[in-house]
Structure 1
Amino acid sequence: MKTISQQSGKRCCADHIRIVLIIGTTAFCSSLDAAEWIVDGTVNQSLSYNDNVRMLPENAEGSVVYNLTPTLNFARMTEVWDIQGRASYGVQHYTDIEELDQNPQDYGLSTVYRTERSNTGLSASYSIVPSQNFAEQDTGNFATNAKRNNLTVTPTYSYRFTELDSLISSASYSKSTYSNPGSGNNDTIINNFNDNEVKSINVGWQRQWSELFAQSISVFYSNYNSTGRINSESNSYGINLTSSYQLSEEWQFSGTIGGRITDTSIDTVIIPGLLTAINQNTSEGFLTDIGVHYKGENLSSNFGLSRSLVPSGQGQLTEQTRVSLDFSYRITERLSSGLTASYQETDSVSDINGGLGQSRTNTWVSPNINWELTQDWLLSASYAYRNQDRKNPDRTADSNIFMLTINYNWPGLSISR
């Protein structure tokens, strides 16, 4: 009988470890040889005047606003693995309403790993931004100086079974918290902000009919949970059908249409520890996201129509219907003009608004003119009109914004190894 001594066993194990290390080092070095490192950045500065910063129906407050947002981007790309990241820390200063001064921050990291048949991705972002900057999409409250801290993590996975068919899947976790609500004059601050969490999962099947045409069908589930003065939970289930078609070199169409069912439970504290109002509701609706894009020699345009479920810091899940239009026309090689316009309707999914103003309409119209000073410097002048009409209680307000912006795009460094 042949025996192997403990010493020879250790030597054999060490040899195997050396072989694994050599293979791993070789693979890593080869990926380094094929890797490309990219670092670039932007610096955006704007000086504007807003004649109704808080969007008040009366006693409007105007202010000059200065924004400075430097952003640093980096990326590492190989044949199978990409990593991208960004970081920005800015300044937002109001000369006449200094309690609104803040320092917006945004950090993000994403990675994708590819094999012959599959793609595995993971992205994460963290931001600290003025709630006022996202009031149109979020709370409808432009009067606050609260900060919104948001963390989002999104894993994705796709697997190609055949040349035409693929399994697609994604999940998402998002948490938003609100801090430093502050106070304002004339009872303008409404600080009924609720922290909230959103979890969702989406699984579907995609078929690439041709190089120009693709379709997919998917099912989804999402959970919205909000805590604060209002404790609410919404569970949504639905199905979506998506199509993407390259009509020509100039025209591209993408569209999603589907349906959803949402079960909502809302507990509203009327007298802490004594009286709580409980409401339960089931609603149905359709979802859509349609885009038509045109890009010509001098003219480009984008049209969008969407209806989607959007979490709100007011304590309820909302349904938003939005129509947007974007035009850009190149007058000369360095001079161009454009127009952006949008109309948005926001309502609570449960139809229980509770006097918090979730039901509202927002309108935005902004013409602009842009001058490319150099390849890296862009000067823009724009005017924007915005209007908000809130229901329950009824309050209508608008504002005019005049803005001058200068952007610097740092081309950065690119190193291939």
Structure 2
Amino acid sequence: MKIKTEFLLPALVLFSNHCQAFDWLLQPDFSATERYTDNLRMQITPTRDNLITTLSPGLLLGYIAENQELKTSFKWNELIYHGESELDFSEKIANASHQFNAERFKTDLSAQYAEQSSINTQLDPEGSGNLQIQVPRTTRSVSPGITYNLTEQNAVQLGYNYVDVKFDTTESLADNLGFSDYDNQQFSATFIHTYSERLSFNLTGAYSKFNSSNDSSNSRSFITFIPAPPFLVGLNQSRTTSYEQSSTTLFYQAGLQYLFDEQTQFSLSAGMRETENRTRYSQIVTFNPEYPPYITNPEPTEINDTSTASGHVFSANLTRNSEWGGFTLNAGQQLNPSSSGSQQQSTTFSANLRYNLSERWTTGVTASYLMSESTSTLNNNSNISNNRTYTTLTPNIRWRWTPEINLELSYSYRQQEFDALGQTAIGNNLQLQFSYQPLINRQVK
């Protein structure tokens, strides 16, 4: 399924009401980051350390009207790896969102186009954890939704999400499942009941379809010995490999949201999922020329696997903000599309604490834990398993130099372990970031 978004923004602008007053948004920003890491590729035994400079200009454009708003953002990340220029990369990220509010309903639409570095994205829940090489990753996504108020207390939400991810792999990486292209689409419906000003309940049902593929073809030439009659021969070996997986999943869950006070909010949802996976793996090897009975083409290898899996889905969040700072606690388990060649069940825990030392100084700490497991029995084979855990701990301190300029110093501890390897990779990062966002007044039309 291909969805083009080139004409998304012009179409949204045409729907605007020219009789309304607009607040036009124009907000440039810039940041520069210096990062030192002793294990960029998260290897068991690191081979070198790295110093990385990132220059990031950005721009926010859009408008805000009485019943609608449009925001578009553009970000350019220029990544410079000192001493390893082959890793240098230019990331381009564009986002667009539009919201429209009527008396009984509201609509929202968001879209993204991103060209990103695999080293910056493969540790995410949607990544495979493979950082051994720099591979361009292109993401396209679109997500429309509508909410209709049935009564003052009841509402229905309908949503759709589509994402397409492709890797610009070389021939040597074409059969590496850690850089598999995929697309995923999800349809969802949610019923919301507002019990009181503080308490609301929701019921959600969703259906998703995931497709992943990885095809490769390579050849090599070599010389080998034939025993009868004894002589050396030159051969060409061709290998064609194909991997495909398609999955369908049905989700259903119930949840609630409770507002303790103006500063504290709690939300919880839990449910089940049913997933069906269909996986095909094939490999064909040919020799040219053949020398029977010593050198012949082997029988093609083909594995077809169908499996079903059920699991829990849940999410919990507790957020509190106050004059002294704030904190956020999150826990969840969900099914994610992944570049590992199959969907991954991700169990996550995270915590964030922020404390205001003064009007200008802020300190904090962030911790996260990710456990990622494949839902396919073929992908859980010990030879190709991508099950992993990833842990981070990041304390930081920020100084607001002026209303427009901020400086932030942070340290990050990272730890990753793959089940198939049974060994742990550890990395340490030290980062200094300068950010500048000029204060520009909106122009009212």
* Structure 1 residue 163 corresponds to structure 2 residue 152: yes
Find 2:417's aligned residue among 379, 382, 389: 389
Q: Retained in 2: the 8 A contact 1:75–1:82?
A: yes
Q: For residue 120 of structure 2, give the secondary structure of its aligned residue in structure 1.
A: helix
Distance 1:192 1:251, change over 3 A: closer
Question: In the TM superposition, what whole-angstrom CA distance separates every residue of 1:321-355 from its partner, at most 9, and x where no partner exists?
Answer: 01001011111111111100111100001243343
Q: Retained in 2: the 8 A contact 1:181–1:191?
A: no
Residues 308-319 of structure 1 mapped to structure 2, 5 A cutoff: 308-319=334-345
2: CA distance, partners of 1:132 / 1:356: 21
* Structure 1 residue 286 corresponds to structure 2 residue 312: yes
Query: What corresponds to 2:275 in structure 1?
Result: 262
The alpha-carbon deviation at position 158 of structure 1 amounts to 1.0
* Structure 1 residue 305 corresponds to structure 2 residue 294: no
Residues 80-99 of structure 1 mapped to structure 2, 5 A cutoff: 80-99=67-86
* Structure 1 residue 326 corresponds to structure 2 residue 352: yes
- Give every structure 1 segment of 4 or more consecutive aligned residues whose post-TM-superposition deviation is greater than 6 Å: none
Q: Retained in 1: the 8 A contact 2:177–2:341?
A: no
Residues 323-402 of structure 1 mapped to structure 2, 5 A cutoff: 323-351=349-377, 352-354=379-381, 355-402=383-430
Distance 1:242 1:71, change over 3 A: farther
* Structure 1 residue 410 corresponds to structure 2 residue 397: no
Q: For residue 133 of structure 1, give the secondary structure of its aligned residue in structure 2.
A: helix
TM-score (norm 2): 0.83
The alpha-carbon deviation at position 250 of structure 1 amounts to 2.5
Distance 1:394 1:182, change over 3 A: farther
2: CA distance, partners of 1:183 / 1:330: 50
2: CA distance, partners of 1:356 / 1:92: 31
1: CA distance, partners of 2:415 / 2:385: 15
Question: In the TM superposition, what whole-angstrom CA distance separates every residue of 1:218-241 from its partner, at most 9, and x where no partner exists?
Answer: 100000100114200110001121
Query: What corresponds to 1:100 in structure 2?
Result: 87
Find 2:60's aligned residue among 46, 51, 73: 73
2: CA distance, partners of 1:146 / 1:285: 32
* Structure 1 residue 204 corresponds to structure 2 residue 194: no
The alpha-carbon deviation at position 28 of structure 1 amounts to 4.3
5+ long unaligned stretches in structure 2: 1-13, 215-241, 286-298
Identity %: 24
One-letter amino acid of the counterpart of residue 147, structure 1: P
Query: What corresponds to 2:115 in structure 1?
Result: 128
The alpha-carbon deviation at position 29 of structure 1 amounts to 3.9
2: CA distance, partners of 1:300 / 1:121: 29
Q: Retained in 2: the 8 A contact 1:194–1:227?
A: yes
* Structure 1 residue 146 corresponds to structure 2 residue 142: no
Backbone CA RMSD of aligned residues: 2.0
The alpha-carbon deviation at position 192 of structure 1 amounts to 4.4
1: CA distance, partners of 2:28 / 2:269: 34
Query: What corresponds to 1:22 in structure 2?
Result: none
* Structure 1 residue 112 corresponds to structure 2 residue 99: yes
Residues 184-203 of structure 1 mapped to structure 2, 5 A cutoff: 192-203=178-189
1: CA distance, partners of 2:171 / 2:368: 30
TM-score (norm 1): 0.88
One-letter amino acid of the counterpart of residue 101, structure 2: R
5+ long unaligned stretches in structure 1: 1-24
1: CA distance, partners of 2:439 / 2:162: 33
Q: For residue 30 of structure 1, give the secondary structure of its aligned residue in structure 2.
A: coil
Q: For residue 41 of structure 2, give the secondary structure of its aligned residue in structure 1.
A: coil
1: CA distance, partners of 2:169 / 2:304: 29
2: CA distance, partners of 1:41 / 1:205: 39
Q: Retained in 2: the 8 A contact 1:175–1:197?
A: yes
Distance 1:298 1:192, change over 3 A: closer
Q: For residue 159 of structure 1, give the secondary structure of its aligned residue in structure 2.
A: strand
**How many residues matched?**
386
One-letter amino acid of the counterpart of residue 256, structure 2: S
Q: Retained in 1: the 8 A contact 2:177–2:339?
A: no
Residues 7-26 of structure 1 mapped to structure 2, 5 A cutoff: none
The alpha-carbon deviation at position 183 of structure 1 amounts to 7.3
* Structure 1 residue 222 corresponds to structure 2 residue 211: no
1: CA distance, partners of 2:439 / 2:254: 39
Q: For residue 442 of structure 2, give the secondary structure of its aligned residue in structure 1.
A: strand
Q: Retained in 1: the 8 A contact 2:208–2:250?
A: yes
Q: For residue 79 of structure 2, give the secondary structure of its aligned residue in structure 1.
A: strand
The alpha-carbon deviation at position 178 of structure 1 amounts to 0.3
The alpha-carbon deviation at position 80 of structure 1 amounts to 2.3
